[in-house]
């Protein structure tokens, strides 16, 4: 079964850090672009960051540039999001998502597989 499972969420104070993980199974993880997408409580979806199959390209939404770092370990079939200098507005459910096309050269693609999400709450 193709599956993504996020972990690492929790309650953190403003200015703090958190590292999210996403474990992939059931497919060749190293062949796909991967993204993080977040959803604030009661709000819509916001793409956060993506990473190429080999980790050579990484892109971020402006609001997290310089604070968040996306990475992957293909040997462990895992995706990560290191979040530093967290703000209240980063409070959200964070989903990892697989880009649809295997072996794609660009990140321009829909997301066909999503994890169940992990909640991050930034509050004092």
Partner 1 sequence: EIVMTQSPATLSVSPGERATLSCRASQSVSSNLAWYQQKPGQAPRLLIYGASTRATGIPARFSGSGSGTEFTLTISSLQSEDFAVYYCQQYNNWQTFGQGTKVEIK
Q: Are 18 and 9 in contact (CB under 8 A)?
A: yes
User: Per rule CB under 8 A, is residue 112 in the interface with partner 1?
Assistant: yes
User: Per rule CB under 8 A, is residue 57 in the interface with partner 1?
Assistant: no
Number of residues that bind partner 1 (CB under 8 A): 20
CA distance 111 to 90: 22
Residues 6+ apart with CB under 8 A from 51: 33, 34, 35, 57, 58, 59, 70, 71, 72, 79
**DSSP single-letter state for residue 124:** -
**Residue number, 50 or 53, with CB nearest to partner 1:** 50
**DSSP single-letter state for residue 55:** S
User: Per rule CB under 8 A, is residue 111 in the interface with partner 1?
Assistant: yes
User: Per rule CB under 8 A, is residue 61 in the interface with partner 1?
Assistant: yes
For partner 1, which stretch binds (CB under 8 A), given 16-24, 65-73, 80-88, 115-123?
115-123
**Residue number, 14 or 95, with CB nearest to partner 1:** 95
**Which residues contact partner 1 (rule: CB under 8 A)?**
35, 44-47, 50, 59, 61, 95, 100, 107-112, 114-117
């Amino acid at each position: 079964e193709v599956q993504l499972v996020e972990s690492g969420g929790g309650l953190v104070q403003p200015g703090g850090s958190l590292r999210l993980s996403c474990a992939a199974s059931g497919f060749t993880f190293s062949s796909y672009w991967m993204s993080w997408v977040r959803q604030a409580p009661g709000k819509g979806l916001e793409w956060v960051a993506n990473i190429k199959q080999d980790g050579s390209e990484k892109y971020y939404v402006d609001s997290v540039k310089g604070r968040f770092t996306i990475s992957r370990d293909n040997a462990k079939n895992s995706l990560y999001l290191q979040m530093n200098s967290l703000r209240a507005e980063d409070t959200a459910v964070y989903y990892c998502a697989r880009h649809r096309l295997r072996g794609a050269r660009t990140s321009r693609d829909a997301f066909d597989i999503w994890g169940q999400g992990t909640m991050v709450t930034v509050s004092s």
